[in-house]
Amino acid sequence: MRTSIRRLVAYSSLATLGGLSAAAVGAQSKAIDDATIVAIFDAANTYDIEAGALAEKKTKNHDIHEFAEMLQRDHKAVRQQGRDLAASLKVTPTPPADFALAKAHADAMAKLRSLSGPAFDRAFLQNEVDFHNAVINAVTTTLLPATKNAQLKDLETKVAPAFVAHRDRAQNLLNNLK
């Protein structure tokens, strides 16, 4: 199961920015627990907050700027819900060993920082589409089936439509770039 998560999260941040393919990520197969799921959930939200903050600073496109603000606002709220739930359940988030998402995010952010203008806008939006697709896939195929705690499972289910909405908004903006 861990292999699937690592492949998905690595792919999510780098799919169109180049560098790391899903097939290139190897891992040992091991059951995933709620503490790891909480850590992945927190990291995914944190990383999209950071990407949104970068886009808010770099883009000159009004619609992308608004989208970046929305990403930050929504992901901060969802991240806080996850942190509050973890605290109430007394679960300490425990990232997987050799957490591929961290490297993938760092690489994606470095690539995005190197771009400007329309090239940045296009790469940012494509990254958001790919990131949200991978998160949706990871939640539905790996995280939800592995989640033991009903409250954590409810949170994952509750926020899923927001991930779909973010992906769809990014795709719409990307499709309408000139």
Residues 6+ apart with CB under 8 A from 80: none
What does the pLDDT read at residue 30? 55
In 3D, which of 123, 159, 121 has the Cα closest to residue 139?
159
Convert the pLDDT of each residue in 88-131 to its tens digit. Answer: 999 999 988 877 878 889 999 999 999 999 999 999 999 999 99
Convert the pLDDT of each residue in 37-76 to its tens digit. Answer: 999 999 999 999 999 999 999 999 999 999 999 999 999 9
What does the pLDDT read at residue 80? 97
The better pLDDT of the pair 137, 173 is held by 173
The band of 178, judged by pLDDT with boundaries at 50, 70 and 90, is confident
Domains for the chain: give ranges and CATH numbers.
Answer: 2-175 (1.20.1260.10)
Tell me phi and psi for residue 156, to 5 degrees.
-60, -45
Convert the pLDDT of each residue in 66-86 to its tens digit. Answer: 999 999 999 999 999 999 999
What does the pLDDT read at residue 25? 26
Convert the pLDDT of each residue in 123-142 to its tens digit. Answer: 999 999 999 998 898 889 98
Q: How many CB atoms within 10 Å of residue 24?
A: 11
d(Cα 70, Cα 136) in Å, to the nearest integer? 18
> What are the angstrom distances between the C-alpha of 144 and each of 57, 138, 141, 156?
34, 8, 7, 7
